[in-house]
Amino acid sequence: MKIILLGPPGAGKGTQAVNLAQKLKLAHISTGDLLRQNVSGGTDLGKQAKSYMEKGALVPDDLVTQMLQRRIQAQDVKKGFILDGYPRNIAQAKALDAMLKQENAAIDFAVYLEASEPVIIQRLTGRLVCKNCGANFHRKNMPPRVEMMCDKCGGTLYQRTDDNEATIKTRLEVYRKEVSALLQYYEAKRQLHRLNADEDADAVLNEIIRLAAKA
């Protein structure tokens, strides 16, 4: 089973990906985690990515794609994966299809988590991130057991400087413009399912599991 999770910032992709991977016993592949692992591990791809990140530039598609290609060849991915944070555009979607074709595989379906702007703003303005492992928490919805300390690794939590209402609105506008073509790509392939991510996280999770059972 190979599932893609798509959605704007604050839609809950990361949370759903972790829970879905546990429920379906599949690997959770986050491109954010892949980048951090390659950089901290000092891989050749990580060193190249770090040079862009230090300049504040986006890591090129081909570097991220190469990291992903190595990741999907790992043993724990043989049963399938939940992909979170990739693809971000049609070029990446086509690259993903090509690399899976080499493995005689294909995406089973993609889920687009649709969330309203007020809900996204509420979620992101309260978001806390671990400096060490990157885990997400929320001041109200999912507070850490110890204030400003990560439950998973004990690292310090912080609020991202771009998690403010004005910046969030700008990010959402940019995201919606970028994602429209990608959604059309998966709709044309009849692989896209849209879900209301304003709903309770458990309800959304159960709906994705239902889709997986039918795939």
Q: Does pLDDT of 56 surpass 80?
A: no
The residue annotated as part of the active site, out of 47, 101, 131, 160, is 160
Q: Is residue 165 part of a domain?
A: no
pLDDT of residue 54: 86
pLDDT given at position 187: 97
Q: Is 88 a catalytic residue?
A: yes
pLDDT at residue number 189: 96
Q: What is the mean pLDDT of residues 109-115?
A: 97
Q: Active-site residue 123, yes or no?
A: no
Domain with residue 201: its CATH number is 3.40.50.300
Which candidate in 88, 139, 189, 194 is catalytic? Answer: 88
Residue 107 included in any domain: yes
Among residues 50, 139, 171, 189, the one annotated as catalytic is 171
For residue 103, pLDDT beyond 90:
no
Residue 139 lies in a domain: no
Q: Which of 2, 13, 71, 123 is catalytic?
A: 13
Whose structure tokens read 């896209």?
A: 192
78 lies in a domain? yes
**What digits encode the pLDDT tens for the residues 1-50?**
999 999 999 999 988 999 999 999 999 999 888 998 999 999 999 999 99
Structural domain tally of the chain? Answer: 1
| pLDDT above 90 for 112 | yes
Domain carrying residue 184: 2-115+176-214
Does the pLDDT of residue 210 top 90, yes or no? yes
With respect to residue 124, please indicate whether it lies within any of the assigned structural domains.
no
pLDDT in the model for residue 3 = 97
Can 50 be counted among the known catalytic residues? no
Is 210 an annotated catalytic residue? no
The answer to the question of residue 15 being in a domain is yes
pLDDT of residue 96: 95
160 part of the active site? yes
